[in-house]
Structure 1
């Protein structure tokens, strides 16, 4: 996933909510997860989510729950997600790789390359223009509560 800003989360939710109902179904959420290499059944996902669909706030809490690793298994899941974005397997996520995967997932909306570089720059601690696994992990562990507050105001 790209650095998940409030705007990015909003864009992802809107892309998933194909019928503009304000809800995303388990099937829509499952398609997103499968697109990034996380295989789960709809039954497992519904059990995890606790309902058959999510509104925007529920989606934010779901994201927060899966984005923050809590143990070694979660770290391994993050490693697998990193490998989805590290298309060439060199141990880094470039702007081109990020854009390619987000496009494949239907989450890249004709942005310029500069936008992609700006997204990477937010988490690029050593300023090499790439994300290594630790930088990716920091990005994925980013907290979401401010997005909940911002969305409720709008």
Structure 2
């Protein structure tokens, strides 16, 4: 059944923290951990996780934090050891990379740098890659229409991210 993993599962399983990243996570954990600091077996409360996220440059919503914690806090006490904390932070760091990659892709497609992708942008990219033919214009417009949820004829970055997360990563 390993052969049937989704792209997201494969990518996440391949994500590995560097020793520097893990050391940074350990420092933040140690700041918030209670009990066992000297032995390295302390715990961090669910309430402190949000502050720990902020210390590392993330701004998660409360619901996202709740979901991340529920995935590792099997006893429901709201106390996470370092391994639980590390699992949560690794997952969050992977998600951030996904979003950053998609934002870069959006920037590459937004040829006129107006913050929106239109069929002209897609035609320009296709032509640059040597794939554009006159008969493609209608197909490219259909792609825009499909991802354009607010009906303004273009795809905003928000629409682009939402569309690709929904179709590629879920």
TM-score norm. by structure 2 comes to: 0.41
Please say which structure displays the higher CA radius of gyration.
2
